């Protein structure tokens, strides 16, 4: 059955509809109702794009329907907090990115803990970031950008999707590498942030290739660099940050699927199996390639590999955020 992308009530998804929720019962018939995949950012943003790419083939593999719902706010923590409290029956799933590993270091009263309150399903993809600016922004190279922002730090605006979002983290790394503090403009997702960048309301930002490739190719934004060791095939003329003289700015954005702790292992495995099927789908591979990314290897689309990666990333980002002295209110 084809995935349906209409928004539904998260309250309804969390409470179930009485049609045989799997918690504490037989998971053999799963799914018996719509599965809601919650995205913590706005529609049209990079995490939303990745989710919608895999939703249809996952739904087909499961023999059910997947509904994608966008729940914005606080760098992804609003959605994550709601899913952590959802009924652990496999009908409420979270798609999150690197922000899952940074939130504990950023928020004093987070309300959930990634390793305790979620079961990992599998990694999905690792997306390069790009440093982009409005097309009429004066600097022409990353080195020029660094010089320009240092001389104009009081007036340059750096957009992001809120504290803890990938764009925010990349922006922190840029400011640290450049030795400058800029005016940051937070949005409810990089979708609206990129819209304002194209419109000239803000100066520059970091964003994932899944969101920027089309705008770069169309000449609607100016691209300075990609934040990975190698150039991106879909953006062959854009140098890496290392090539452009800022090797410290190295970050990619990994995505993974989660369910609340207590979800039956059989259901977690069914979801993981459907994820592997989706990531092997040629249409998904082709779509991701056009946006500068690729599915993870099958061995990484597992609960075990995902959890190990999450543990490593929690440690890594705790130090980066502590060194930056950043805290969310």
Which pLDDT tens digit goes with each residue over 102-155? 999 999 889 999 999 999 999 999 989 999 999 999 999 999 999 999 999 999
Would you give the DSSP letter of residue 2?
Answer: -
Superfamily of domain 128-226: Periplasmic binding protein-like II (3.40.190.10)
pLDDT tens for 190-236 read 889 999 999 999 999 999 898 899 999 999 999 999 999 899 999 99
Classify 41 in phi/psi space as left (phi over 0), alpha (psi -120 to 50) or beta: beta
Indicate if the pLDDT at residue 3 is higher than 70: no
* CATH class of domain segment(s) 10-126+254-324: alpha beta
pLDDT score of 27: 80
| Residue 30 structure tokens | 């799963």
CATH 3.40.190.10 domain range(s) in the chain:
128-226
Q: Tell me what the mean pLDDT of segment 266-279 comes to.
A: 98
* pLDDT confidence of residue 152: 97
Give start-end residues of each CATH 3.40.190.150 domain in the chain.
10-126+254-324
In terms of DSSP bridges, do strands 221-226 and 118-134 run parallel, antiparallel, or are they unpaired? antiparallel
Across the range 253-282, mean pLDDT stands at 98
**pLDDT tens figures, 38-64:** 999 889 888 999 999 999 999 999 999
Q: Decide if pLDDT at 6 tops 50.
A: no
**Rounded distance, CA 127 to CA 289, Å?**
10
pTM across the whole model: 0.79
Cα distance between residue 5 and residue 204, in whole Å:
31
Query: What is the reported pLDDT for 189?
Result: 81
Burial class (CB in 10 A: 0-12, 13-18, 19+), 298: middle
**Mean pLDDT (whole number) for 313-326:** 86
Tokens 């994820």 correspond to 275
Q: Which residue spans within the chain are E strands per DSSP?
A: 35-39, 66-70, 92-96, 118-134, 157-160, 183-186, 204-208, 221-226, 252-260
pLDDT digits (tens, 9 = 90+) for 156-181: 999 998 877 789 889 988 998 999 99
């Amino acid at each position: 059955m084809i995935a349906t992308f209409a928004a539904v009530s998260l309250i309804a998804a969390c409470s179930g509809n009485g049609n045989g929720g799997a918690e504490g019962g037989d998971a053999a018939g799963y799914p018996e109702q719509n599965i809601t995949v919650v995205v913590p950012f706005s529609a049209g943003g990079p995490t939303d794009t990745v989710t919608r790419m895999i939703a249809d083939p996952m739904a087909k593999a499961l023999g059910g329907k997947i509904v994608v719902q966008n729940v914005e706010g606080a760098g992804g923590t609003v959605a994550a907090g709601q899913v952590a409290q959802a009924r652990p029956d496999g009908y409420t799933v979270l798609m999150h990115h690197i922000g899952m590993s940074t939130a504990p270091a950023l928020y004093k009263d987070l309300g959930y803990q990634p390793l305790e309150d979620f079961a990992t399903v599998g990694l999905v993809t690792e997306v390069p970031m790009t440093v982009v600016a409005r097309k009429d922004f004066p600097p022409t190279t990353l080195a020029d950008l660094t010089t320009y922002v240092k001389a104009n730090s009081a007036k340059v605006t750096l957009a992001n999707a809120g504290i803890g979002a990938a764009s925010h983290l990349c922006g922190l790394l840029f400011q640290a590498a450049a030795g400058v503090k800029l005016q940051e403009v937070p949005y409810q997702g990089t979708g609206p942030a990129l819209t304002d960048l194209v419109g000239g309301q803000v100066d520059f930002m970091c964003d994932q290739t899944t969101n920027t490739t089309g705008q770069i190719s169309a000449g609607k934004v100016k691209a300075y660099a990609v934040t990975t060791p190698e150039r991106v095939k879909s953006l062959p003329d854009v140098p890496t940050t290392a090539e452009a003289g800022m090797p410290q700015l190295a970050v990619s954005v990994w995505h993974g699927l989660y369910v609340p702790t207590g979800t039956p292992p059989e259901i977690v495995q069914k979801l993981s199996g459907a994820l592997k099927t989706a990531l092997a789908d040629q249409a998904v591979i082709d779509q991701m390639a056009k946006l500068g990314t690729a599915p993870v290897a099958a061995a990484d689309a597992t609960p075990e590999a995902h959890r190990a990666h999450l543990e490593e990333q929690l440690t890594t980002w705790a130090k980066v955020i502590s060194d930056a002295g950043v805290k969310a209110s």
